[in-house]
C-alpha cells in the first residue's frame, strides 16, 4: 500500500548530489529505537546520513541522488517494526521553529552578557564597602556598559517591537512597562557612570532581559512542540489521493501534492482527501464528518464533496478546487472569520494584569519623584530614586509567572493526550462552566461498528465477516473488522450498489442491502428500535440475519459526562444529526439538554445566546459544520480525527479513542490557572515589599539584582507544582 505512493513530492535536493527526505516515524520511544534505526539505515551503502530526532519522533535521511527508491526506507523501517510516513513541515511549524530559535539566540546573548557583567559587578559591590578606587569603579562600569548596551539592543528587540506596536495601536501591553524599565535603567546607568557616581544598573537590566526571554522561549517552545506533534499526526494519517496523471492513467500521490484543478478518482470505501466537485459518477457518500448527519447522502455530477467524506457505493471523479463553489464551505468560512475576530478580543490574564500594573507602577514612580522634590532632595537624586522604583518593579516575575505555568501545564496535558493550539487556551478552558458536545465523531467514534453483535450467532458473524472482506463498502468493512477474520471466501461477485454474493457449502450466500438478501422485515424491525443504524443483511441458504451498523459511543463518554457534572459543569449536546439519533445518545449519556438538526448558523446562535446569559462555553466538536462554533465558543477542543479546519480553529486537540482528555484538560487548566493567579500574587507581594525600599531611596544595584532573581526563582518553583499528578 505504501510502496506505490509517489514520494517525489517530499524529496528535497540538497545541492551536493544528495537527496533529503524527512519521515515521521511511529513508535520511536527510546534511545534503543534511535540507535537501532540509525545503525540499520546507515549501514546501507550510498546512505550519507540517517539521523533520528527523538524529541519529535522524526527521521532525516540523506542519500546519493538516484541510488534508491525512497519506498525502500519505509519497508526497511517496517521490517524493524516502525511505521514511517513522509512528511513536510507546514508553514506554521517552520515559523514557530524559527521563532523559537531566534528567541534562544537572543536568550543566549543576554545570558552570556549577564554572566560577564556579574564578573564585573561583584567586585564593584564588594569594593563599594571596602577600598575600591573611584577610578577602578568607573572603569568597571564602562566595561559593563560596553558589554550590556549592544547585548541589550540586540536581545531586547522582541519587547521593544511588541511595545511599539501596542503603543501605535494606542494600547498598553506588558511589554510597555518592560521596555520603559529597560530603557530607563540603561539610560540612568550611563548617565550615572558619566557622572562618576556609585550606582549603575547594567547588571540588573541585562538579567531582567535574560529572565524575560527565558519566559518567552518557554512559551514559544511549547508552541513549537505542539506544532511538530500535530505535523506528525497529519503525516501518520498518510492521506493519499488517486490522481489522474493523464486522462487514462492514475497514480497514488500524497494529498499534499494535489493542486486545484487536478482530477481525483474516489473509489468505494475511500475517504476523500480533497475538497472538490464531482464531474463524473454517482455514489452514496457518508458526510458525517462534514455535517454531523449519519445517514448517507447521494453525490452526482455537480455536487460538492469535502475532505473527510467517505465514499460508500460508486466510483467518483472529482475536480479538486481551492475555493469550492460549495455553499456550505463558503458559508462556514464566512462564519468562521466573523467568530475568529470576536475571539481575538479576549484579553489574556497577563494582559489584564499589565493593564492594571503599568499605570500603578508609573504613577508610583512619578509620586516618588514629586515627593522627594517636595521633601527638598535635589532634582538628580529624585529622578534616580524614581527610576530605581521602576527598575525594582519591572515585571520580571510577571513575565515569567504565566509562561512558566503554561509550559509545565502543557507538558502535563501532553501526557494525557491533549495538544494545545493556542497559548492562552489553558486560561480559557479553566474558566468554562458549560460544555457543548457535538454528537457525531465527538461523543461517538468516527469508525462504524456493529451494534447488535450479541444477537447473532458467533459462527454466522465469522462467515459474514469473511464474505464482507470481498466488499469495499464501509458498512460491510465494519462487519469484517468486528468479525476479526482475515480469509475471504473464494469466488465472490460484487453487485455494485447492492452487495456481494456467491456460494458456500453448496448454498447461496449474500451480504448487502436488506432487499438484496430478502431480509427487509428483519431490517425494518431493527430500524424501528434504532433509526440511526445502517442495516447490512446476510443470508446463507434460508437463514437470514441483519447487522445493525452504527457509530458507537466513545467507551468512557458516560463517565466523562458524569465527571463534568460532578465538577459543576453543565453538559449539552448540539448536533447536526436527526432528532431520534440525538435523543438516543442523550438518553444513554444522561444528558438532559440536547438539540438536533442544528445548522452551523444555529450552533453559533445557541453559543451567543448562552454567552449573553454569562455562560463560559467549551465547545467540543469535530465536523466542518462545528468549525464556526469552535471559533465562537469561549474555548474549544477537537478530536484528532476532526476535519482540518476544525482542528485548526480549536484551542486544543485530543488524541485517542477516549473522551477522558476533555475532563483532564479542564482539571489541569483549572489547576494551572490557580497557579498563574498565585504567581501574580507572589509578584504583587514582592513588589509590596520591595517598592517601599525603592521609594525610600535605599535600593543599591546589589539589592535590585538579588530581588529580581529571587522573585523569578520563586515564581518558577511555584509553576513546577503544576506538574504534580492530578488524579484523573
- Minimum Å gap between C-beta 185 and another protein is 21
Q: Is residue 524 involved in binding another protein (CB under 8 A)?
A: no
Burial (Cβ within 10 Å: 0-12, 13-18, ≥19) of residue 256: middle
Neighbouring C-beta atoms of residue 527, cutoff 10 Å:
16
- Minimum Å gap between C-beta 131 and another protein is 12
- What cell numbers appear for 409 in the block? 501545564
Q: Residue 63 or residue 538: which is nearer to another protein going by CB?
A: 63
Q: Residue 111 or residue 429: which is nearer to another protein going by CB?
A: 111
Decide: helix, strand or coil at residue 638: strand
Task: Please spell the DSSP secondary structure of 87-124, one letter per residue.
Answer: ----HHHHHHHHHHHHHHHHHHHHHHHHHHHHHHHHHH
Span from 56-64, 441-449, 498-506, 636-644 in contact with another protein (CB under 8 A): 56-64
- Minimum Å gap between C-beta 108 and another protein is 5
- Minimum Å gap between C-beta 60 and another protein is 3
Q: Is residue 222 involved in binding another protein (CB under 8 A)?
A: no
Span from 45-53, 549-557, 604-612, 676-684 in contact with another protein (CB under 8 A): 45-53
Q: What are phi and psi of 306, to 5 degrees?
A: -120, 155
- Minimum Å gap between C-beta 55 and another protein is 5
Q: Is residue 50 involved in binding another protein (CB under 8 A)?
A: yes
In sequence order, which ranges of 130-197 are alpha helices (DSSP H)? 134-155, 157-168, 175-194
Candidates 54, 245, 567, 713: give the one binding another protein (CB under 8 A). 54
CA distance 503 to 507: 5
Q: Is residue 723 involved in binding another protein (CB under 8 A)?
A: no
CA distance 238 to 301: 28
Candidates 2, 9, 53, 244: give the one binding another protein (CB under 8 A). 53
* Catalytically annotated residue among 22, 56, 275, 438: 438
- What cell numbers appear for 721 in the block? 507544582
Q: What angle do CA 342, 419, 558 make, to 5 degrees?
A: 90
Q: What angle do CA 427, 430, 435 make, to 5 degrees?
A: 125
Q: Residue 119 or residue 588: which is nearer to another protein going by CB?
A: 119
Span from 44-52, 347-355, 548-556, 557-565 in contact with another protein (CB under 8 A): 44-52
Q: Is residue 35 involved in binding another protein (CB under 8 A)?
A: yes
| Spatial CA neighbour of 621 closest among 566, 575, 585, 589 | 575
Decide: helix, strand or coil at residue 325: coil
- Minimum Å gap between C-beta 707 and another protein is 25
Q: Is residue 333 involved in binding another protein (CB under 8 A)?
A: no
Q: Residue 41 or residue 624: which is nearer to another protein going by CB?
A: 41
Q: 492-506: b or e for each residue (b if 16 or more CB lie within 10 Å)?
A: bebeebbbbbbebee
Q: What's the DSSP call for residue 626?
A: G
Q: Residue 119 or residue 689: which is nearer to another protein going by CB?
A: 119
Q: Residue 31 or residue 245: which is nearer to another protein going by CB?
A: 31
Q: Residue 232 or residue 240: which is nearer to another protein going by CB?
A: 232
CA distance 662 to 418: 8
Pairing type for strands 276-280 and 304-305 reads antiparallel
Q: Residue 101 or residue 162: which is nearer to another protein going by CB?
A: 101
Candidates 56, 96, 192, 438: give the one binding another protein (CB under 8 A). 56
Span from 32-40, 370-378, 418-426, 632-640 in contact with another protein (CB under 8 A): 32-40
658 and 380 in contact (C-beta within 8 Å)? no
- Minimum Å gap between C-beta 48 and another protein is 5
First-residue to last-residue Cα distance in the chain: 39
- List Cβ neighbours of 172 (8 Å cut-off, separation of 6 or more): 166, 354, 355, 358
Q: Residue 102 or residue 417: which is nearer to another protein going by CB?
A: 102
Site for another protein in 81-140 (CB under 8 A): 101, 104-105, 108-109, 112, 115-116, 119, 136, 139
CA distance 715 to 679: 6
- What cell numbers appear for 578 in the block? 436527526
- Minimum Å gap between C-beta 53 and another protein is 4
Q: What angle do CA 282, 287, 291 make, to 5 degrees?
A: 135
Annotation says 530 is catalytic: no
Q: Is residue 157 involved in binding another protein (CB under 8 A)?
A: no
- Minimum Å gap between C-beta 29 and another protein is 11
Task: Report the half-sphere exposure of 14 (CA within 13 A, side-chain side).
Answer: 15
Span from 30-38, 399-407, 484-492, 532-540 in contact with another protein (CB under 8 A): 30-38
* Catalytic residue set: 438
Applying CB under 8 A, the residues found at the interface with another protein are 20, 30-31, 34-35, 38-39, 41-43, 47-56, 60, 62, 101, 104-105, 108-109, 112, 115-116, 119, 136, 139, 143, 146-147
Amino acid at each position: 500500500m505504501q510502496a506505490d505512493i509517489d514520494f517525489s513530492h517530499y524529496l528535497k535536493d540538497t545541492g551536493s548530489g544528495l537527496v533529503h527526505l524527512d519521515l515521521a516515524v511511529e513508535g520511536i520511544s527510546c534511545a534503543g529505537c534511535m540507535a537501532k534505526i540509525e545503525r540499520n539505515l546507515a549501514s546501507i551503502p550510498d546512505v550519507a546520513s540517517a539521523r533520528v530526532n527523538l524529541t519529535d519522533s522524526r527521521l532525516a535521511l540523506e542519500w546519493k541522488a538516484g541510488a534508491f527508491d525512497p519506498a525502500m526506507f519505509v519497508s526497511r523501517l517496517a521490517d524493524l517494526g516502525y511505521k514511517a510516513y513522509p512528511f513536510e513541515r507546514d508553514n506554521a511549524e517552520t515559523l514557530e521553529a524559527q521563532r523559537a530559535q531566534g528567541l534562544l539566540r537572543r536568550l543566549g546573548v543576554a545570558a552570556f552578557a549577564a554572566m560577564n557583567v556579574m564578573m564585573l559587578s561583584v567586585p564593584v559591590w564588594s569594593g563599594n564597602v571596602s577600598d575600591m578606587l573611584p577610578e577602578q569603579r568607573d572603569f568597571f562600569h564602562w566595561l559593563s556598559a560596553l558589554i550590556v548596551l549592544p547585548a541589550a539592543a540586540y536581545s531586547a528587540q522582541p519587547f521593544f517591537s511588541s511595545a511599539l506596536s501596542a503603543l501605535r495601536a494606542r494600547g498598553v501591553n506588558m511589554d510597555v512597562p518592560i521596555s520603559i524599565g529597560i530603557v530607563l535603567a540603561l539610560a540612568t546607568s550611563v548617565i550615572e557612570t558619566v557622572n562618576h557616581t556609585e550606582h549603575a544598573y547594567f547588571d540588573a537590566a541585562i538579567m531582567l532581559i535574560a529572565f524575560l526571554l527565558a519566559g518567552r522561549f518557554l512559551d514559544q517552545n511549547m508552541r513549537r512542540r505542539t506544532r511538530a506533534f500535530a505535523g506528525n499526526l497529519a503525516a501518520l494519517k498518510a492521506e493519499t489521493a488517486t490522481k489522474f496523471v493523464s486522462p487514462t492513467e492514475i497514480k497514488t500521490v500524497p494529498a499534499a501534492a494535489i493542486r486545484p484543478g487536478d482530477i481525483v478518482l474516489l473509489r468505494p470505501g475511500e475517504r476523500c482527501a480533497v475538497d472538490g466537485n464531482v464531474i463524473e459518477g454517482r455514489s452514496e457518500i457518508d458526510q458525517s464528518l462534514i455535517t454531523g448527519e449519519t445517514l448517507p447522502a447521494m453525490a452526482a455530477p455537480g455536487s460538492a464533496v469535502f475532505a473527510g467524506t467517505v465514499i460508500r457505493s460508486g466510483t467518483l471523479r472529482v475536480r479538486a478546487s481551492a475555493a469550492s463553489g460549495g455553499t456550505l464551505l463558503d458559508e462556514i468560512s464566512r462564519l468562521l472569520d466573523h467568530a475568529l475576530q470576536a475571539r481575538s478580543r479576549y484579553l489574556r490574564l497577563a494582559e489584564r494584569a499589565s493593564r492594571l500594573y503599568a499605570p500603578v507602577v508609573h504613577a508610583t514612580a512619578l509620586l516618588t519623584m514629586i515627593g522627594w522634590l517636595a521633601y527638598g532632595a535635589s532634582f538628580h537624586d529624585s529622578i534616580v530614586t524614581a527610576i530605581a522604583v521602576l527598575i525594582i518593579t519591572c515585571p520580571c516575575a510577571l513575565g515569567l509567572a504565566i509562561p512558566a505555568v503554561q509550559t509545565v501545564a502543557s507538558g502535563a496535558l501532553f501526557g494525557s493526550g491533549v495538544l494545545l493550539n493556542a497559548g492562552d487556551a489553558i486560561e480559557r478552558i479553566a474558566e468554562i462552566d458549560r460544555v457543548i458536545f457535538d454528537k457525531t465523531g465527538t461523543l461517538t467514534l468516527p469508525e462504524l461498528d456493529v451494534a447488535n453483535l450479541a444477537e447473532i450467532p458467533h459462527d454466522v458473524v465469522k462467515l459474514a465477516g469473511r464474505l464482507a472482506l470481498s466488499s469495499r463498502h464501509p458498512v460491510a468493512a465494519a462487519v469484517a473488522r468486528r468479525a476479526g477474520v482475515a480469509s475471504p471466501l473464494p469466488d465472490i461477485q460484487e453487485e455494485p450498489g447492492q452487495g456481494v454474493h456467491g456460494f458456500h457449502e453448496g448454498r447461496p450466500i449474500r451480504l448487502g442491502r436488506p432487499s438484496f438478501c430478502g431480509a427487509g422485515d428483519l431490517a425494518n424491525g431493527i430500524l424501528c428500535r434504532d433509526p440511526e443504524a445502517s442495516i447490512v443483511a446476510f443470508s446463507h441458504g434460508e437463514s437470514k440475519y441483519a447487522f445493525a451498523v452504527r457509530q458507537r459511543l466513545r467507551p468512557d463518554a458516560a463517565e466523562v459526562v458524569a465527571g463534568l457534572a460532578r465538577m459543576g459543569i453543565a453538559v449539552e449536546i448540539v448536533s447536526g444529526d436527526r432528532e431520534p439519533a440525538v435523543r438516543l445518545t442523550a438518553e444513554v449519556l444522561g444528558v438532559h439538554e440536547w438539540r438536533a438538526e442544528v445548522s452551523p448558523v444555529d450552533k453559533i446562535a445557541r453559543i451567543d445566546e448562552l454567552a449573553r446569559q454569562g455562560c463560559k462555553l467549551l465547545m467540543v466538536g469535530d465536523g466542518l459544520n462545528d468549525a464556526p462554533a469552535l471559533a465562537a465558543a469561549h474555548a474549544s477542543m477537537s478530536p484528532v480525527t476532526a476535519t482540518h479546519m476544525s482542528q485548526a480553529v480549536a484551542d486544543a486537540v485530543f488524541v485517542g479513542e477516549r473522551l477522558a482528555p476533555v475532563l483532564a484538560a479542564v482539571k489541569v487548566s483549572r489547576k494551572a490557572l490557580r497557579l498563574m493567579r498565585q504567581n501574580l500574587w507572589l509578584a504583587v507581594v514582592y513588589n509590596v515589599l520591595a517598592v517601599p525600599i525603592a521609594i525610600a531611596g535605599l535600593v543599591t544595584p546589589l539589592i535590585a539584582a538579588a530581588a529580581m532573581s529571587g522573585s523569578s526563582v520563586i515564581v518558577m518553583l511555584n509553576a513546577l507544582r503544576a506538574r504534580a499528578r492530578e488524579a484523573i
